[in-house]
Amino acid sequence: MKKTGDDYFDSKEFRELLAEYENAKDTGMPVFMDADELSEIADYYQMNDRFDEADEAINLALSLAPGAIAPLTYKIHEALWKGDTDKAKEYLEQIVETDEPDYVYDKAEIMLAEERVEEADKYLRTEFKKVPPEEYQDYVVDVANIFADYHYPEQAMQWMARAHQEDSPEFKELMARTLFGLGKYQDSEKLWSELIDTDPFSKHYWNALASTQFMNENYSGSIESSEYAIAIDPNDPEGLLAKANALYRLNNFEEALKYFERYSQHMPDDEFGLMHQGTCLINLGRNKEALVRLEQALELAESYATDDVEADSPYLSDICQELAFGYSEEGDKQKAMQILDKADQHGADKVQTLVVRGHIMLGAGDVKKAEKYYRQAVVSSETPNNTLMRVIVSIYDNHYLEAAYTLFCKFFQIIPPDYNEGYAYMALVCYDLKKYDEFLSYLKTACERCPQECQVALSHIFPDDVEPKDYYEFLNRKK
């Protein structure tokens, strides 16, 4: 039995329970287990992507105890994962044990799935008044976990404030996740590091640390942490993906491609891996190979919409955009536009597709049509400054350097004083135009205001061991 990283599923107690269940199934003997035990087995199978076996175990549990809360909670979570809140409500109504905390949690989760956040919080606070004092801690921690799981970190932190501070790994992990959700990555990183000190062989902890470092733009640290997770489990998809993402951000597309490919070997139904294989190949100048991977990603992404539940991939718009760029590079403007039409049909960001349409038309030499699309994008945008900056970058990418320079000069005259983006790209334009004094001036501002943009726009100019925030000082020292 493979290690899961879950303390209970990896315990001797559960291993014996699972062996007893599987032995009974293999020999055709009756299964003498209660609904809770069968639900735990179903959870284990689901965690390991053995969905048919999970369904068999949970259906057996429901046949033995039709109104039992554990298997019905499993069914509720399954329905919510599919986005079917009506089915989840049907299962909730079947629960007999309505005085159990899990019933309260299930009802609140359905509210959160329907984005009724304030109603869920009010309901949970009302139910909290009924909780015996000796169960306060368990209740508030459970509720905080629910809000964290549904990506409502503010509410999670409010419930954490009601709890007694503990030094347990479970409590620290919840706090680390909540801080991560609040964008307090350094505080979160500190807690994950403390958890690793207590269990250095937890790939879950190493992957969480890698994600936190990634969000804190510490890509080298993220790679190192993900390597520990991969060393513990060479086939761990989360570790492989974490390393691939960090390598990609460092523009190491050759190595990133290898890890995205390894990730896709273990997660063939995840279009994210295929999409990024395509973007890596584009950056490596292997455009025809990229189009094959991106078409595979698009086919997979489109397959998620079903008759009863609308479940388009969240990456569908990005895949279409990359395909459009790819076909444009191949000189197939018509195919590129057809792909963008498809993106619009799937509810893609119209402003973004308009910018891409302008980019394609400009690349094809049709300046008038490009201007039309660019203008529509800026006028219809809720954040016109951001969109205008993307338009200017698109013009630069199409090698209209003087036009990009002129537009950026006007751009910096109209943006508010606290607007921090665009300076790194203007520095790049000045560098290419050999306006070195202006390059240094804009670089200095960019390093002070938006180091992340420096990483994206200027990293190819500087050695890998120089931090983006230090680019200006690096040149200043050399001078």
pLDDT of residue 247: 96
Which is higher by pLDDT, 9 or 154? 154
CA 58 – CA 75 distance, rounded (Å): 8
Q: Is 439 exposed, middle or buried (0-12, 13-18, 19+ CB in 10 A)?
A: buried
Check pLDDT > 50 for residue 310.
no
CA 399 – CA 401 distance, rounded (Å): 5
pLDDT of residue 217: 85
- Summarize the confidence of residues 268-284 as an average pLDDT: 95
CA 343 – CA 338 distance, rounded (Å): 9
Q: List the one residue out of 375, 385, 376, 379 whose CA is nearest residue 408.
A: 385
H helices within 364-450, ranges in order?
A: 367-380, 384-397, 401-414, 423-432, 436-449
User: Which residues does 415 contact at the CB level (< 8 Å), separation at least 6?
Assistant: 385, 422
The overall average pLDDT reported for the chain is 92
pLDDT digits (tens, 9 = 90+) for 80-101: 998 999 999 999 999 998 999 9
Check pLDDT > 80 for residue 311.
no
